[in-house]
Amino acid sequence: MQSFNTCYTDTGLWGVYLVADSSTLDSAVNAVLSEWQRLSQSVSEHEVTRAKNLLLTNMLLMLDGSTPTCEDIGRQMLCYGRRLPPTELEMRINAVTADDIRRVISQYVIRRPPAVVGIGPVERLQNYEYITGAIN
């Protein structure tokens, strides 16, 4: 299970990707839904600080080589129309607070119906009404 994020100038895409077999599918989906609920209500500053440090570390480690550096420049050009200096990226990331996370999750995840895609034998995937009801 992992989350993903793609940014553009005027929009973006965020989601969760998970792989499960029929015996773990219900608990995996419920874990994601439960975490979204928790993030909308009780994420702590400590958790946000830890996530920001992890993000900054991963961003720096990712830029080891010309190919990932070029990909990063391309993403920034699509999102911001320019390349942001590392100090500006760090400043923007460090400006995020737990209140911001709760507000954004509440506004864009909890109050909106998610797009759900299943690939493979999806007979055990909970129905869409259950999933939307669990986060609204």
Cα–Cα distance, 30 to 98 (Å, whole number): 23
Domains of the chain by range and CATH?
2-135 (3.30.830.10)
Nearest CA to 21 among 117, 125, 115?
A: 125
Q: What pLDDT does residue 82 have?
A: 93
Does residue 136 have a pLDDT over 80? no
Max CA pair span of the chain:
48
pTM: 0.82
Q: Assess contact for 75 and 5: CB atoms under 8 A.
A: no
Quick: pLDDT tens for 64-120.
889 989 998 998 998 889 999 889 999 999 999 999 999 999 999 998 889 999 998
